[in-house]
Amino acid sequence: MGLADRHSALDLDQSLRPGLDLLANEIVIALKKRTRFPQNAEIYRPGLVRTASDRTLLDYELERMEVLHAELGRYTFASQEAFTEVSSVEPIIVREQPPSPIATMASGAGARVKAYYLGWVERACAAGSDSNTYGETATTDVEALLCILERVNLGKFVAESKFEELGPRFREAGDDVEAIRALLVRKGREAQVFDLARRLAAHYELDADLVLDVFAWMIETTVDIEIAYIRMRCGS
């Protein structure tokens, strides 16, 4: 990757933050769609899928979507991670390996994202079930999960951008996680993210507290990924 391309990919204001804001919009749309359906707890328990009775409908559909994305090369990009094991999936298109401005690091955040999201569904969606919406519910869950996982993993790009800016100070921090956190967190930017969350909630007529809870959790998780990335870059 050329120096100019690398600089562009790591530009907080021109590249990274607009991408994060676009994902924020997609996430809130998916959350709004999910609240249209009841909890439908059956799709999170094994038994619905005739050909895979030991698996939940959500996990079954999530893997099918991620296999498709793997065939199209999604997980060859450093910003992307899958919930399911798709490393053996062969791409169906021919292209060069995309260059990456960041070091390779798997956050392993998938399980954390799924656990949080399923808890959010219990809080945000009406109790009960409607078998007529099982398919739509699973599809919406997959949309939301993929967007949330992508959003938090973009923290690796943010961390690399800040490492370029503050590398010596991060090295001085050593294993002091709170010192690293202090260098990473920009309260002004967090305020902008929460303001965007409120505006999106109002636009899509979704309870603001439910949306803010998601964004607060995403910020916390993203910072944890950024800290892990910085420690890896510093050799900790």
Report pTM: 0.93
pLDDT at 20: 87
SS3 102: coil
Q: In this structure, what token pair is assigned to residue 169?
A: 């100070």
Q: Kindly list the domain boundaries of the chain, sorted by start residue.
A: 3-233
Given CATH 1.10.590.10, say whether it is the number of domain 3-233: yes
SS3 186: coil
Confidence band (pLDDT; 50, 70, 90) for 8?
low
What H or E segment, with its residue span, contains residue 24? helix 17-35
Tell which residue, 63, 157, 177, has the closest CA to residue 110: 63
pLDDT at 172: 95
Which residues lie closer than 8 Å to 9 by C-beta, 6 or more apart?
A: 1, 15, 101, 157
pLDDT at 30 over 60: yes
Provide, for the chain, the percentages of residues in helix, strand and coil under a 3-state DSSP scheme, each rounded to the nearest 5.
70, 0, 30
